[in-house]
Structure 1
Amino acid sequence: MMKYIQKGKYEATELDGEWIILNTEDYTVTKLNEVGGICWSLLGEVQTSETLTHSLMEKFSPAENEEQIKKDLEEFLSSLHQCGLIENVN
C-alpha cells in the first residue's frame, strides 16, 4: 500500500474555499479546490489513499460511492506527485 506525505514545507493559503500552494524552490503555484485543500492538509502527516478516502467520506457524505472517491483520489495524488508536492514514503 502506497503512503504519501507533503514533500517539503510549502506556503499554502486558503481563499474562498480554494487553496493556493506556493513552491518557492521550483517557482510553481498549484491551485486546489476545497476537497483538494482538505487532502493537502491531511498530507502533512503520512497518509494512504484509503485513509484519505475514509476522511473524505466522513467529512462529506458516507453515502457517496467509495470506489469512485478512491479512484478520483488516486488520480489527484498522482497529479500532486507529478508536480513534486508529495512523495512516497515506506
Structure 2
Amino acid sequence: MMTQFIQKENVEATELDGEWILLNTDQLTVTKLNEIGGLCWSLLNNGQTGESLAQAISERFQPTGDKDQIKKDMEEFLYHLNECGLIEHVSR
C-alpha cells in the first residue's frame, strides 16, 4: 500500500499571482510553490499519494509527458514537503 500524506495543521498558505507561499508557523520557514505545486498543496488537505497527485496533475494539465515520470516527480515533491515539515503521514 502506498503512503498517504496530508497537510500539517501548523502551515498557513497564501496564493499570490499563481504562486503559493507556505508558512510553517512552528519552524518559521517559508516555502514557495508554483501553480502545479499549489494545486498539489490544495489537494493535500485530504490524504494523497504520489500516484493520486500524478493522476490529478494529468487530468488538470493534460501533459504529454511520461506518466511514470510525473508520478516520480510527485513522490519527490512529497518527500521535499515532508522534509520541510509541511506534511505528515496519514495515520490509520
Identity %: 60
Partner of 1:22: 23
State the SS of the aligned residue for 1:84: coil
| Separation in structure 1 between the aligned mates of residue 26 and residue 14 of structure 2, nearest angstrom | 17
- Listed one character per residue, the Cα deviations across residues 31-84 of structure 1 (whole Å, up to 9, x for unaligned) are 011100000000000111111111100000153310110111111100000000
Which consecutive unaligned segments of at least 5 residues does structure 2 have?
A: none
2:34 aligned partner, one-letter code: N
Which consecutive unaligned segments of at least 5 residues does structure 1 have?
A: none
Partner of 1:45: 46
TM-score by length of 1: 0.92
How many residues in Structure 1 have an aligned counterpart in Structure 2?
90
The structural deviation recorded for 1:8 is 1.5
CA RMSD of aligned residues (A): 1.2
Structure 1 runs of 4+ off > 4 angstroms?
none
- Is the contact between residue 50 and residue 72 of structure 2 (CA under 8 Å) also seen in structure 1? no
State the SS of the aligned residue for 2:65: coil
